[in-house]
Chain A
Amino acid sequence: MTAPLLDARALVVRFGGVTALDGLDLSVHTGETVGLIGPNGSGKTTFFNALTGFVRVAGGRAQLAGADITGLEPRRIAAFGIARTFQRLRLLLDLSVFDNLMLGQHLTLDHGPWSSLFARGRFAAAVRGQADVARTLLAAFSPGLPARLFEPARALTMIDRRRVEICRALIREPALLLLDEPSAGMTPDETAELMTDLLAVKAQRPALTVVIIEHDMGVIERVSDRCVVLDYGRKLAEGSYAEVAADPVVRRAYLGED
């Protein structure tokens, strides 16, 4: 088998006396969609935060396509091709939908202080090109969204905000997309719709690699090629959804069954 895209080895994260990640090994191959599940506090979001440089890694290492990204600043890790969403939605609500999507493009748009400040013509041309890209991407999630490109994100409904946040992560065509509970705060119907859109977007990008944290087991069953179950910051089980769901250890820890 080829080398994994993401390779985390023995990751350790501590918050004071609490060990949130306790030597976690997890690797993900290019094009895979991995569902990350586990009880509250099992270290799922902490794993994302460790990968993206939002918390300090106390031990172990993480590699993306062979490059060591352990302990780098978030902005450096972003440049390696990791994009993420947040469980507590973090769109910049006072900015327009378009500005939020432009932020997602920050790394690839017009480098250098000179072009940032003075080359307005080139920036504007890039912006026009990006507006088309943004509209296409938004349309994949909702036909009504492209028309609202220049409205403030605050004006959108919860599900539209969630869609825009995913678009913001997708727009720079990351190698690895980390989705932190995209269904949080949404109705089952909205969740189903979002997952359909997500699968369609994924189908267009066979090389896109996704790790998705979810509490909704239906979502995990539907979208993931492989499941990883965390408990107390360690890997409890791994395999297909059916295998994991049938695992008695998982049922005891996660589903609270005896």
Chain B
Amino acid sequence: MDPGLLAQHVFNGLMLGVIYALVAVGFTLFFGVMDVIKFSHGDVVMLGAFTALAVAAGLTGMGVTSHPLMLLGMLVVALGLMAVVGALLARLLVLPLRGAPAINVLLITLMAGTVIREGVRLFYPQGSNPKPFPRLLPGGTVEIGSFTLRHDSAILFVIGVAAIVGVHLTLARTRLGLAIRAVAQDPETASAMGIPFTATVLATFAIGSALAALAGVVNGLYYSEISFNLGLLLGAIGFSAAVVGGLGNVYGAILGGFLFAALQTIGAVALPFASAYKDVFAFAAVIVLMALRPAGLLAERSAERV
């Protein structure tokens, strides 16, 4: 294959990988501290994107035209609001079910996700149609041979990687991060050390949901279009990535996100049939991976959890 074209595919794959990793990290963080799967996570991604879209419309209505300013406003409101939504979902749906079978949390968050999804479809103006997402990033390109790097993609990639590095630093180097890791391993011992369980869980859900909002905004800016059901596929992909990486392991989730994107890219490029089958190929590969490594690539026991 032409090296320029190959570089193009690799970059596209990395770009998707960042979005998937942002979603997968949330799944794995929630599992880490509460041992639950929160299935409304994909719909929080979608709600974050629609929040940003609403902010963009609002700012345009107020006469704000500066793209960096709009982008900043969208990110601040979407991430902040989703952090609150995530903490509320934890407070109202997940924490009260502590001690109940995990399947109950799975079911209740699945329903919460449906409520969010249908809520956006019904109450956002013409919510059932795909919405154009404003192109706010500089549209230029850099050509290196046959490799075309769009400025906006490069910026999104950097933003996504920065967020992932931020999560790593927060977990590894801060007091809150240590509290989250301690609660994930042994909530009782953590409490004997003076760590507040509920506050730590709420902070974890807030962080994971803010990352979901970021994934939603990056996704919108990358594809220039969002729809009320984008969380279904992104949620399934994020969940798969977290499981393939080893649930409870943040680095596994990141790895899983990039791996899934690589599989999709390979499915779209290297296979003889049309790229429409890329998801089928990627999910099938995940099924095979799960059969070979049931505990995930970085199994929780051998690597540090959360």
Contact = CB atoms under 8 A, between A and B. Distances in A.
Interface of A: 52-54, 73-75, 78-79, 83-84, 86, 90, 92-95, 99, 102-104, 106-107, 109-110, 113, 115-117, 120, 123-124, 152, 168
B116 interface: no
B193 interface: yes
A211 B170 CA distance: 37
A103 B192 CA distance: 10
The 4 A-B pairs at the shortest CB distance, nearest first, are namely: A78-B194, A107-B194, A116-B176, A74-B191
B193 A104 contact: yes
Contacts, number: 81
B182 A103 contact: yes
Contacts of A94: 181, 185, 303-305
A116 B170 CA distance: 9
Contacts of A103: 178, 182, 189-190, 193, 195
Contact of B175 (A54, A90, A116, A152): A116
29 contacts: A53-B191, A54-B192, A74-B191, A74-B192, A75-B194, A78-B191, A84-B192, A90-B186, A90-B188, A90-B189, A92-B186, A93-B185, A94-B181, A94-B303, A94-B304, A94-B305, A95-B304, A102-B178, A103-B190, A103-B193, A104-B193, A107-B194, A113-B203, A117-B170, A117-B174, A120-B169, A120-B173, A152-B304, A168-B193
Contacts of A52: 192
Contacts of B192: 52, 54, 74-75, 78, 83-84
B176 A106 contact: no
B89 interface: no
A123 B304 contact: no
Given A94-B185, A95-B182, A120-B169, A110 B175 contact: yes
B120 interface: no
A95 B185 contact: yes
Contacts of B203: 113
Contacts of B178: 99, 102-103, 106
Nearest to B305: A94
Contacts of A115: 175
B196 interface: yes
A110 B174 CA distance: 10
Given A74-B191, A95-B182, A107-B194, 7 more contacts: A54-B188, A75-B196, A92-B189, A95-B181, A113-B203, A116-B179, A120-B174
Nearest to B170: A117
Interface of B: 169-170, 173-176, 178-179, 181-182, 185-186, 188-197, 203, 303-305
A54 B193 CA distance: 12
Contacts of B179: 106, 116
Contacts of A86: 189
A48 B295 CA distance: 37
A76 to B, nearest CB: 8
A73 B192 CA distance: 9
A95 to B, nearest CB: 6
Given A74-B188, A78-B194, A95-B304, A109 B175 contact: yes
Contacts of B174: 116-117, 120, 123
A115 B179 CA distance: 14
Contacts of B173: 120, 123-124
Contacts of B188: 54, 74, 90
Nearest to B185: A92
A86 B193 CA distance: 12
A95 B178 CA distance: 9
Nearest to B300: A94
A113 B176 contact: yes
B304 A75 contact: no
Contacts of A73: 191
B167 to A, nearest CB: 11
A117 B207 CA distance: 11
B195 A75 contact: yes
B305 A123 contact: no
Nearest to B166: A117
A103 B200 CA distance: 14
A117 B193 contact: no
A95 B177 CA distance: 12
Nearest to A113: B176
Contacts of B169: 120
Contacts of A84: 192
A109 B173 CA distance: 13
B231 to A, nearest CB: 27
Nearest to B199: A113
Nearest to B190: A103
Contacts of A83: 192
Nearest to A54: B188
A53 B194 CA distance: 11
Nearest to A126: B175
Nearest to B187: A74
A120 B192 CA distance: 25
Contacts of B185: 92-95
A79 B169 CA distance: 27
Nearest to B191: A74
Contacts of A92: 181-182, 185-186, 189
